[in-house]
Amino acid sequence: DTNRFRQQYQIHRQLGKGHFATVYLCVEGSTGKQFAAKVFEKRPGDSQKSQADALQQEVALLKSVNHPNLLCLKDTFDENDGAYLILELAPEGELFNLIVTKQKLSESETRHLFRQLFEGLKYLHERGIVHRDIKPENILLADKKMTVKLGDFGLAKIIGEDSFTTTLCCTRDSAGYSSATIHESCRRLVPGGGSLYLPLWLPPFSDELYTRDNPLTLAQQIKMGKFDYPSPYWDSVGDPALDLIDRMLVVDVEKRITVDECLEHPWMTEKYPSVTDSTDGLTGALGNLDFSKRKIKRERTLLSSVNDVHFSEHVEGSEAPVKVFHKNNADQRVHNRPAKANAREPSPGNQGSPKG
């Protein structure tokens, strides 16, 4: 066997699947250590061009990064049956799955996760790399302490100081979490405002909001920055958190908060500790909701090393306990953004205040 990868590694189970690649748990023979093997399969007759481009870009980027909150690349193999990237393993899988399992995270859990995410992004931005596809599926977890590993640099791009990316380049999956201009410019704007919104509640923008009374498509909601914090679900979340989300989801890139400002924001620095920091209030409220099934278009496998639970979510109407919008409340969410969210001045001097 001339396959160098197979001589050195043993493939175990599948961890996930993206548009271009399948990711497997693998074990290095010489050390017994576990890694993730991202495999770009070569199929005869396929147009290899776009795949090869995506791969080359990802390899170059991954080779250049080394940060505790970014998925690092150990090795690469170019074999007859495919190209293999050996990545650090994130055994606890996607943040998305944690949110699905727990329904909602507390503010301090969310802060812990997002501080690491911002640190990883800051590192990338300092090197002129923009991620462009921040979503809970690309935020992976290394352990039970919720150590974040930001993954999937497939769409990332290195920008020059003077360049300005103008394409709307989020994937269809990340649209619900985006700002209108999800791309970050050379101002190192921080994406992922919706990813911060999600652990505390649901995606800020959703197809579920499209009703006769509410004829805003997902794209329109995003372009217009239409979202709010419906009561009672957001009542237990403090103003500083809402303020940070507001600032991350500003449509105008010139006015959107930067990653450095995020790290300095009062919610991050805990200058104003949250009045309530539990999910108790919400758990009761959730019980009254008529949850419908959210449509999940991408095939995904839940990875949990402890429970060893697996489920595939690509079927519409699967039994996965995914949080969804309640259609009856949809108009309220789009049109009546609460006064407390609007009342805040968008000046840096007024970055949220303690509740009450």
C-beta separation of 205 from 176 below 8 A:
yes
Contact map string, positions 101 to 130, toward ligand ATP, x by CB under 6 A: ------------------------------
By CB under 6 A, name the one of 21, 83, 113, 117 that touches ligand ATP. 21
Which residues inside 36-65 make contact with ligand ATP, applying CB under 6 A?
Answer: 36, 38
Q: Which of 15, 196, 222, 262 binds ligand ATP (CB under 6 A)?
A: 15
Which neighbouring-strand residues pair with 85? 38, 76
Among 82, 120, 136, 151, binds ligand ATP (CB under 6 A): 151
Phi/psi of residue 218, nearest 5 degrees: -55, -45
The CA–CA distances, whole Å, from 335 to 213, 223, 234 equal 11, 15, 16
Q: How far is residue 135's CA from residue 193's CA, in Å, rounded to a whole number?
A: 9
Q: Tell me: does residue 240 bind ligand ATP (CB under 6 A).
A: no
Q: How far apart are CA 199 and CA 105, in angstroms?
A: 5
User: How would DSSP label each residue in 296-309?
Assistant: --S--B---TTT--
Q: Which of 78, 133, 162, 235 is catalytic?
A: 133
Q: How far is the CB of 135 from ligand ATP (least distance, A)?
A: 8
Nearer Cβ to ligand ATP, position 107 or 137?
137
CA–CA distance, 60 with 64 (Å, rounded to integer): 6
Does 322 contact ligand ATP by CB under 6 A? Answer: no
Number of chain residues interacting with ligand ATP (CB under 6 A): 24
* Tokens of residue 28, six digits: 């290095």
Per-residue x/- marks for ligand ATP, 171-200, CB under 6 A? x-----------------------------
Identity of the residue, 38 or 122, whose beta carbon is nearer to ligand ATP in the bound complex: 38
What b/e readout covers 144-178, taking b as 16+ CB neighbours within 10 angstroms? eebbbbbbbbbbbbebeeeeeeeeebbbebbbbbb
**Which CB, 54 or 241, lies closer to ligand ATP?**
54
Cβ neighbourhood burial of 337 (10 Å; 0-12, 13-18, 19+): middle
Q: Does 23 bind ligand ATP (CB under 6 A)?
A: yes
Site string for ligand ATP, 62-101 (x = CB under 6 A): ---------x---------------xxxx--xx-------
Q: Is the peptide bond before 338 cis (omega within 30 degrees of 0)?
A: no
* 162 catalytic residue (yes or no): no
Of 98, 140, 189, 198, the one binding ligand ATP (CB under 6 A) is 140
Distance CA 325, CA 202 (A): 7
Which residues are known to be catalytic? 133
- The site for ligand ATP (CB under 6 A) is made up of 15-21, 23, 36, 38, 71, 87-90, 93-94, 137-138, 140, 151-152, 154, 171
